[in-house]
Amino acid sequence: MPDSRRVLVVLLTEYGPLCERCLAYHARTSLSHVATMLQTLTEHVALLVEHGECPGCHQFTQTFSLAKTHDDAVGDPG
């Protein structure tokens, strides 16, 4: 797993759930880069995608967290 995706896994493990904006802030990268990393990360790691309040910025938005299994992961198509 490339280092940039590993950073997201660590952030989600330690601080998740987080929104894309908070992930980008903590990873010190762009929103578009985080979006791309999250998309490719779902091929290797079970991610739970939900709409709710992000604990990092307190905005109601799409949040991401690690799921225990791929069966627990819920993909939000839009």
Q: Is residue 36 part of a domain?
A: yes
Q: Does the residue 77 lie in any domain?
A: no
Query: Is 56 domain-assigned?
Result: yes
The 10s digit of each residue's pLDDT in 68-77 is 765 655 554 4
- Residue 72 in any domain: the answer is no
The verdict on residue 76 lying in a domain is no
Residue 46 has pLDDT above 90, yes or no: no
Q: What is the pLDDT of residue 57?
A: 96
Residue 66 CB-density burial (10 A; 0-12 exposed, 13-18 middle, 19+ buried) = middle
Give the domain extent around 45: 3-66
Decide if 26 is inside a domain: yes
pLDDT of residue 72: 56
**Position 66: which residue type?**
L
Give a yes or no: residue 75 inside a domain.
no
Is the pLDDT reported for residue 13 higher than 70? yes
Q: pTM of the prediction? A: 0.80
CATH of the domain at 34: 1.10.10.10
Tally of domains in the chain: 1
